[in-house]
Amino acid sequence: MDEKVYKLLNEQVNKEFYSAYLYLDFSNYYTEVGLDGFANWYKVQAQEERDHALLMMQFLSNNGEKVTLEAIDKPDVKYTSNMSALEKGLEHEKYVTSLINAIYDAANKVKDFRTLQFLDWFVKEQGEEEKNADDLIKKMQIFGKDAHGLYALNTELAARVYTAPSLVL
């Protein structure tokens, strides 16, 4: 595997674990303000991010590469409203998309087709992640100012369950 592609993938493993920490922090915030459905939604997000890291670890291992785990930074987010975590979530997903795109670009430059095929799933996944985050913001804008609407949205989010990715390595 090309050294730059390897380095970027290994860094992404750690960034995916950070994403899980960040979403657990969001979940804690929503638990504290009494929105258990929002807390659940972000716990599921954290599970997804953790599994993204594990998939990347397995891919590196399957290709004879060593995985180096680094320290995971503590999330440093200040919450100013129930909307602020949602907005920071969308911002973070856009950042992760840029990271995946950078790895894809590096793999493409060296014609690393195996890595490109692996990353295709993540490219699609990031599109879904950004749409989900944006949709949640839109729903909060519509329903969040009304107690009944917020209650209904919170109930909807409480019903979300985790489904492991079905990516074949």
For the stretch 99-112, pLDDT in tens is 999 999 999 999 99
DSSP classification of residue 129: H
Q: What is the dihedral of CA 147, 153, 154, 159, to 10 degrees?
A: 150
What DSSP character marks residue 146? S
Q: Quick one: residue 79, left, alpha or beta (phi over 0 = left, psi -120 to 50 = alpha)?
A: beta
Handedness of CA 27, 101, 124, 140 (dihedral sign): positive
Angle formed at CA 59 by CA 57 and CA 62, multiple of 5 degrees: 110
Whole-angstrom CA distances from 53 to 10, 12, 21, 43, 129 are: 9, 7, 12, 16, 15
pLDDT band for 163, please (50, 70, 90 cuts): confident
Sort 41 into a burial class: Cβ within 10 Å, 0-12 / 13-18 / 19+: buried
Give percent of the chain above pLDDT 70. Answer: 98
Lowest mean pLDDT of 74-83, 135-144, 157-166, name the range: 157-166
Domain locations in the chain?
3-158
Q: Is the dihedral of CA 95, 101, 106, 107 positive or negative?
A: positive
Q: In the predicted model, what is the mean pLDDT of residues 127-146? A: 96
Fold of 3-158: Ferritin (1.20.1260)
Cα→Cα distances 140→63, 80, 110, 116, Å: 43, 15, 43, 36
Predicted confidence (pLDDT) at residue 136 exceeds the cutoff of 90: yes
Determine the Cα–Cα distance for residues 26 and 41; give it in Å rounded to an integer.
Answer: 10
Residue 124 burial (C-beta neighbours within 10 Å; 0-12, 13-18, 19+)? exposed
